[in-house]
Structure formats: C-alpha cells, structure tokens
Chains A and B, each alone.
Chain A
Amino acid sequence: MSEHILSSKLYYGIWITLMVLTVVTAWVATIDLGPFNTVIALLIASSKALLVILFFMHVKYSSEKLTKMVIIASIFWLLILLSLSLTDYGTRYIPHG
C-alpha cells in the first residue's frame, strides 16, 4: 500500500477490460475447442484475477516487498495442494458408476 493515488481513468480501463473478458469467456465456452475450452476459461479467469490483484488491490504499486512475497507464497502453496492431490487421485483406479 502506498499513498500514491492512481488516476480514475486507469480504474475505468481495468473495469472495461474485466467486463470484456467476462463476455468473451462466456462466448468462447459455446465454441467446441476440445480440451482447450477449459484451458482458455482458466487463462481468462487468471488474467482477470491478475488485473484485480495488481491494480484494484494496488499490489503493483506496493512499496512493501513482503506483501508480494505473501501473495506468491500462498499461490505456490495452493498449487502444491492441488498438484500433489491430483498426482494421487489422478493415478488411482477411476470408479465408473
């Protein structure tokens, strides 16, 4: 957090980008792209989340490096949870029915 005040134009720009990405993600989902539907949906969601974190939550302009470290560490920790769980459950017998 810093006392640096961002221009309202920047906030409106981020807002419009987020709106466009929302409409795009809902529209792309109706096109058959095979496994890439999920990939694109997650990429769009992640870029929206990144925009919110960097600009709305002021992380890009934060002078405190510790804040950034907490964010990166918690995302890393979440990825450990998800990836290690999936390496276990993904390689087990898949129960059908």
Chain B
Amino acid sequence: MRFRLRRRWWLSDSPITAEQHGPELRHHFATVEQQRDAASLGMWLFLATEIMFFGGMFCAYLIYRMWYFNEFAAGSRSLNLKWGTINTIVLICSSLTVALGVRAAQMGKRKLLVILLVLTIVFGFAFLGIKGIEWYDKYKEHHIPGASFNADDIVQDYPQIHIDQRHEQIYFSLYFAMTGLHALHMIIGVGIFAFLLYYAWKGRYTPGYYTPIELGGLYWHFVDIVWIYLFPLLYLIDRKPLR
C-alpha cells in the first residue's frame, strides 16, 4: 500500500502529494475547505429543488386560500392549536440538538455527538407521534377528504358565514398533502440520522471529516423551515375570537 502511494505521487501532476494530507481529502480537491464547500454547495442545490417541490404545494395553497378564504379559516380553526404549537417547539428543539451535534463533530466529541443524534431522533419521533394523534383526531371527526368526508360540525360553528363542504375538502386535502409530505421528509430525516448515529457511534467522524453530519444537519434544518411556514399557514389562518 505504501509503495503504491509513492508510485502514484511520482506519476501524478497534482501539486498535492499523498504524504501531505490526511485520508479524508479526496485527491481531486486542493484543500479540505474546498472539499467541504463543494459538498455543502451540492446539498444546497438539492435543497433548492426541494424548495420548488414544496413551492408547488404552497402555490396551490395560496390560490385556494384566496378563493375560499372562509372555508380555509374555518378549517384552520378546527385544527388543534395546542398540538401544533408543541410540535413547532419540538422541531425547534431538534434543530438545536442538530446544530450542537454538528459543533460536537467539529470538535471531535464523539460521545456528545452520539447523545445529540439520539436526542434528535427522539424529537423526530415525538413530532411524528403528535402528528399521528392529530391525524387520528381528524379521522374520527370525518375530516379526511373522500367519500366519508363530513364537515357538518364546522358548518354549524359558523351560522353567519356560508361554508361550502366541497371547498372545505380542498382545505383538508391541502392540509393532509402538505403535512403528509412534510412527515415523509421527517421519516426520511429520522432514517438519515439513524445512519449517522451508527457511524458516529463507530467513530467514523472526526474534526477533519464530518461532512455527512453537516449535510444531514442542512437537510434537517430545511425540513424544520418548511414546518415554520406550515404552522402559521395551516393553523393560524383565523384564530380571532368569534363575534
């Protein structure tokens, strides 16, 4: 192995020799910083496609909210504000553990990194569990769009406003599509973090090489930002006291 490295150094045009850098630096990058920046840029390009992916749904949401505002406001009121706020706080806490986890990886604190990754996964499951409770409540209330959809309870709450049940279904379709897509991203995120946890536990990540932690963190924070917008748009359309 040693012989092969030396042979390559003699044959290579690269100003960087095998002896001058650690094993974390791939030979086609000049420096570790350049390698990290390239990985980060690639992740941000992926996140740009994710912004457009969610953007289509936000666009549909905006158009229907503009057209059927009464139904959207009434549907928003039927969501559980307490669970929504708690879930927002759970996600913000998970973002903190991710940010501190990246910091632990930068400083080479393996034990702390493992603990923070476990905490992140716990917060992720807590979010999904609360989301499951909310969805189950909606299922019991017949608020899931489809043949058994029934929003008579919502209509009765607003005797002075005309509420069309078909338009109410559009609100709940968007609610389930947007929170469902977000939950799918959360499930994928928990999977990614389980993978990161396994290798962090085995000690793969060092201050010289923690790119997977950083990129997994970028993904997690992005999913958090999507929820930061979903929370006011879905839960807080109209929470004013009824006159």
Contact = CB atoms under 8 A, between A and B. Distances in A.
Interface of A: 1-3, 5-6, 8, 11-12, 14-15, 18-19, 22-23, 25-26, 29-32, 37-38, 41-42, 44-45, 48-49, 52-53, 55-58, 62-64, 66-67, 70-71, 73-75, 77-78, 81-82, 85-86, 89-90, 94-95, 97
A86 B62 contact: yes
B232 A41 contact: yes
Contact of B36 (A1, A31, A45): A1
A56 B99 contact: yes
A86 to B, nearest CB: 6
Nearest to B102: A58
B55 A15 contact: no
Contacts of B55: 78, 81-82
Interface of A is mostly: helix
A22 B100 CA distance: 20
A57 B218 contact: yes
B176 interface: no
Given A3-B106, A6-B103, A89 B63 contact: yes
A15 B62 contact: no
B40 A67 contact: yes
A70 B239 contact: no
A5 B106 contact: yes
B106 A1 contact: no
A40 B199 CA distance: 43
Contact of A64 (B40, B85, B238): B40
A41 B56 CA distance: 21
Interface residues of B, number: 58
B41 A11 contact: no
Contacts of B103: 5-6, 8, 11
Contacts of B207: 3
Contacts of A78: 51-52, 55, 58
Contacts of A75: 51
A26 B229 contact: no
Nearest to B64: A89
B37 A1 contact: yes
B166 to A, nearest CB: 9
Contacts of B202: none
A50 to B, nearest CB: 9
B99 A3 contact: no
